[in-house]
Structures are given as C-alpha cells and as structure tokens.
Amino acid sequence: MTQLITTDLVELDQNLGSTPEDVIRHLAGRVAANGRATEVEGLFADAFARESKTATGVPGGIAIPHCRSTAVTHPTLAMARLSRPVDFGAKDGPADLIFFIAAPEGADQEHLKLLSKLARSLIEKDFTASLRAATS
C-alpha cells in the first residue's frame, strides 16, 4: 500500500506564489513528480475547478484544496508551510499551512474520510502549532 504522505510531499517555508492558483499548480506538480498522478495539468485543472466553486480556506491560517481526478493514481496528501501566506478565502485572512488532497476519480468515500480526519486534526491548536514550529 502506498503511504498517503511522505517527506517528498512536504515543503517547509517556501514561497509558492501569491495566488491559490500558483500554490495548487505547484502542489499538483509535486504530486505528479512523485508518481502519484499521471499528469500535472489534468490534476491542476480538477483541483482549481474545485477551488473556483468554493474557497478552501478555513480559520486559523489553513487551506485544504482538494479534488478527485482521473489523473490521480494513488490517494495523496501534500503539505506546504508557506513563507508568504496566500489568501484562500478564509474570513480570518490568508493561509500559511496548505494541505492538498488528491484522490482518484470515484474514490468518494476515501476522499471524504480523509478530508474529515484532517479537518478534525487541524482543530487542535497544539497540532497546528507543532506544524508551524517543525524544522523538518
């Protein structure tokens, strides 16, 4: 079984651009570069289409862009801690912690379970503080 997230899918203190489009495109590229999607553009298009429907920013400086895509070969979670926060539409301001969920098309239950589990974890202030303090 493929791990959901690996160190190759995590970026710390990076400037990935100034818009959600920039960040999502970069993370889609990382997912594809790690052999978890067949192409960047298809994954990016699906993820950005989802983002365009409803912003994925949540309170606390967090964004969870996500999608199901035919380009995805393995359920994947990529994470970035941004050096320059980006506005993903949360009411309290831009996000510095980005969690990109990429699920294969048709993996509705797995996608929803992952999204729910991640959201529950991110409510814990100690958890998000540890993510912001991590050095590796």
Q: Which two tokens stand for residue 77?
A: 């979670």
DSSP 35: T
Token match 């160190």: residue? 7
66 is catalytic: yes
Q: How far is CA 89 from the centre of its chain?
A: 15
- Closest C-alpha among 64, 73, 79, 71 to residue 112: 64
Residue pair 63/98 in contact by the 8 Å Cβ criterion? yes
d(CA 133, CA 136): 9
The pair phi, psi for residue 7, each rounded to 5°, is: -60, -25
Q: How many residues does the chain have?
A: 136
Catalytic residues: 66
